[in-house]
Amino acid sequence: MAFLKYFSLLFITLVFISCYEQKRDCERFRIGTFEYQSFLNGELVTSQFFRNDSIEIDYFQNKADTSSIRWVNKCECILRSLNPKKRSEEKPLHFKILTTTKNTYTFEYGLVGASKKAKGTATKIK
């Protein structure tokens, strides 16, 4: 009898856990000004970027870089540098918003078609 109660409790818990879905309100993060922090050569660095429906401008170490942005769906976009300075900058990047909170979103990104992905979190500041 105790086994049956334990099994029932376990089953109900698993049902509720399996129904949990990460919140993604991607529309709130399509346009605006954002901040992103990452480690570069062991040092924490901050960059800012501004994004509207078609352009993203990144500001990093007193330099600006402009990319075109094409939204694939509500939570995924492709960025392509408008003025690549190196051959490696010619390849487009795929971004996917994984989760959102009130002011932040967690995303993964990588070169289009590549299996290697990295993750980051951006904060909306405007």
Q: Is residue 27 part of a domain?
A: yes
CATH number reported for the structural domain that contains residue 84 in this entry: 2.40.128.490
pLDDT value at residue 13: 47
- Residue 1 counted as domain residue: no
Q: Which residue matches tokens 């089953």?
A: 11
Element (H, E) at 10: helix 2-18
Residues 100, 114 contacting (CB under 8 angstroms): no
What is the tens place of the pLDDT at every residue in 31-43?
Answer: 999 999 888 888 8
Place of tokens 């909306």: 124
d(CA 77, CA 96): 7
User: What would the two tokens of residue 72 be?
Assistant: 């694939």
Does pTM surpass 0.75?
Answer: yes
Question: What does each C-alpha distance from 4 to 13, 55, 114 come to in angstroms?
Answer: 14, 59, 48
Q: Please say whether the dihedral angle defined by the alpha carbons of residues 49, 52, 56 and 57, taken in this order, is positive or negative.
A: negative
* Residue 59 covered by a domain: yes
pLDDT, residue 102, reads: 92
- Point out the residues of the chain with pLDDT beneath 70: 1-22
Residue 96 sits in which domain range?
23-124
